[in-house]
Amino acid sequence: MGIADRYQAYADAFEQSVEDDDWTRIEPFFSEGAVYEGAPADAVGREAVITKLKGGLDGFDRKMDSRTPDFQQPEVKGDTLTMRWAVTYTKAGAPDLVISGLETAVFEGDRIARLRDDFDPEAEKGMGEWMAAHGAKLQ
């Protein structure tokens, strides 16, 4: 199984975990010392990475009425996979919010060793404007 197939299996498992909150199913996709790069600080170690991923979902996505991801075909170069993504969120009384970016996964064998999401600048600006106008609805 190549890393594109392995990543797809991870993405499918991730979406199942979003649905049922069972995050143990994504553990086998990360190396023991995996790193998730991101503000305010990197998460280091498989458990910390999973905690950060779940925390992001709990702190934002689950406060929305719906979340519809759209993933493009990933590109693979050596041990690194990049994939463009967009997620559309809905919340009653607010316009839809679309956030987009690029995910980069660096593999060691069949496990993700480094994961990083970079938001598109326009999406980051749009999210800031949406939060300023409608963020109170997420309380």
DSSP secondary structure code for residue 3 in this structure: H
Long-range CB contact pairs, 63-72, < 8 A, 24+:
63/91, 63/138, 64/89, 64/90, 64/91, 64/97, 64/138, 65/89, 65/90, 65/91, 65/92, 66/90, 67/18, 69/15, 71/11
Q: What is the pTM of this model?
A: 0.92
Which pLDDT tens digit goes with each residue over 53-76? 999 999 999 999 999 999 999 999
Q: At what angle do helices 46-59 and 3-20 cross, to 10 degrees?
A: 50
Collect the ranges in the chain with pLDDT lower than 50: none
Residue 22, domain CATH: 3.10.450.50
- Residue 59 half-sphere exposure, CB side, CA atoms within 13 Å? 6
What's the domain range around 7? 3-138
Q: Report the DSSP beta bridge partners of residue 118.
A: 102
CA–CA separation, 78 and 105 (whole Å): 11
Instruction: Give the pLDDT score at 1.
Output: 75
Would you call 80 helix, strand, or coil by DSSP? strand
If one counts the domains in the chain, the total is 1
